Amino acid sequence: MAKYWLLFVLIICPIALAEQGKFKVTVYAYHLQPPLIIDIGGQSGLYFDLVNHLNRLSNEYEFSLVYVPRKRIEVMLERNEMNGILLGVNPKWFKDKSEQKYLWTSKVFEDRDEVVSLQSAPFEYKSPNSLKGKIVGGVRGFYYAGINEAVAEGQVNRIDTVDEEALLAMLTKQRIDAAIIGRTMFEYYLSDSVKEAVFHLSAQPHDEYHRRILVPKE
C-alpha cells in the first residue's frame, strides 16, 4: 500500500534537484500534537516515522518534515507558495470534497474525532444541533465539519486552545461541556484507567476520516 501512494507522490509533486543528486521533497504538517508529532527537535512521532520510511524506500528522493501552523498553510495554498506536499489531511478540511482543487493520495492513517465529556456529566453527540446551548472545546485553527458552521451562526459556543492536551485540562476544570479530540491523541495521552474513570466518549463520534496527503496542482 505504501509503495503505491509513494509512487503517486513521487510522480506528481513539485521537486527541486539538490546538489547531492537527490530530489528534495518538503513534507509539511500542521498537527503539532502527539503521537503524530511528539518532538520536533528529536524528530519523533508517527509523521517522522512515515517520512523516514519514505526515505528508506527511495534512493533518489530525500523527504524532510517541516511543521507550519494551519493558518500559514492556508496562506501558502492560496498564494500557490507550497513547494511540497501536506501530510495528514482530508479533502473536506480544505473545501475540496470533490478532489478537484488539489491532488490527493489514498489513505495514510485512519482516525476519528471523539466527542469527549466528563463521566460526571456525560454528553451524547448526535449532530451539530445537539451542541446547541453547550460550550464545546476545540483546537485553534482546526476545522470541525458542521460545528464551525454552527458556531458562525451563533448556535454553539466554542472555546479554542493550543492543543488537545490543553482541551482535556479545560474539560476537567469544567470550563467546557465537551471537547473534540482525535482518537489517536486521546489514546496516547491517557491510560485506560483514567479514560474510564474520568472521561466519557459519545457513542457517536463527531467524525471519522482518513488522513491523506495533499499535493498542490501548481
Q: pLDDT tens digits for 114-123? A: 999 999 999 9
pLDDT, average across residues 75-101: 96
How confident is the model over 24-67, as pLDDT tens digits?
A: 999 999 999 899 999 999 999 999 999 999 999 888 889 999 99
Average pLDDT over the chain reads 90
Question: DSSP letters along 122-173, please?
Answer: -----SGGGGTT-EEEEETT---TTHHHHHHTTSSEEEEESSHHHHHHHHHT
Topology of domain 2-109+210-215, CATH: D-Maltodextrin-Binding Protein; domain 2 (3.40.190)
Confidence of residue 8 (pLDDT cuts 50, 70, 90): low
Q: What is the CATH number of domain 110-209?
A: 3.40.190.10
| Backbone angles phi and psi of 186, in degrees to 5 | -60, -45
Q: Tell me, what's the pLDDT at 22?
A: 77
Per-position b or e across 96-124, b if 16+ CB within 10 A of its CB: beeeeebbbbeebeebebbbbbbeeeebe
Residue 178 scores a pLDDT above 80: yes
In the chain, CATH 3.40.190.10 sits at: 2-109+210-215, 110-209
Residue 111 scores a pLDDT above 80: yes
Can you tell me the distance from the alpha carbon of 31 to that of 63, in angstroms, rounded to the nearest whole number?
Answer: 18
Q: Tell me, what's the pLDDT at 9?
A: 54
Confidence of residue 3 (pLDDT cuts 50, 70, 90): very low
Confidence of residue 15 (pLDDT cuts 50, 70, 90): very low
How confident is the model over 97-109, as pLDDT tens digits?
A: 999 999 999 999 9
